[in-house]
Amino acid sequence: MDWTETMAPDAAALEALAREVIAGLPAEFAGHAHDVHLRVEEMADHDTLDELEIDDPLELTGLYDGIPLTEKMASEPQHFPDVVRLYRRAILDEWAARGNVALGDLVRNVVIHELAHHFGWSDDDIARIDRWWE
């Protein structure tokens, strides 16, 4: 392949990959997943990194920002939408560093990981099932 004319995938390309993942979710998850807003940003901002105690912005590929379904109560309406944020530069950095994974597979894993938080799963819950990050 001639890489001289190839550009890194932009935010729109990553969003399209993420939307394909959401469109392919099983029915029992799809409805709730469609309620979550999707945002592709270059990198996490300083406030987010400080809150999560992360020094290197390339270590954070995605983030769920919202109230998990297991904690929502109809009597307390939420004023802000749930959001899954994908961090383009961190995803591309991990993709390049791994070298053995398709970009679509990596995006799929990040999206599903963040949606699992929306469904109320903790990082420990996800780690017991998903061995991707090993």
Q: Is residue 1 part of a domain?
A: no
Q: Is residue 105 part of a domain?
A: yes
Give the total number of structural domains in the chain: 1
Nearest CA-CA partner of 32 in 75, 79, 66: 66
Single-letter amino acid, residue 11: A
Q: Is residue 51 part of a domain?
A: yes
- Stretch (H or E) spanning 83: strand 83-87
d(CA 88, CA 101): 16
Single-letter amino acid, residue 118: H
Q: Is residue 89 part of a domain?
A: yes
Domain that holds residue 42: 9-129
Instruction: Report the chain's mean pLDDT, rounded to a whole number.
Output: 87
* pTM for the whole structure: 0.86
d(CA 70, CA 78): 14
What's residue 2's pLDDT? Answer: 77
Q: Is residue 4 part of a domain?
A: no
Q: Both tokens of residue 115?
A: 């949606």
Say if strands 83-87 and 37-41 run parallel, antiparallel, or are unpaired.
parallel
What's residue 3's pLDDT? Answer: 74
CATH number at residue 116: 3.30.2010.20
Give residue-wise pLDDT tens across range 55-88: 999 999 999 998 887 887 666 776 678 999 999 9
Q: Is residue 112 part of a domain?
A: yes
Nearest CA-CA partner of 84 in 59, 63, 108: 63
Q: Is residue 3 part of a domain?
A: no
Question: Residue holding tokens 């591309």?
Answer: 92
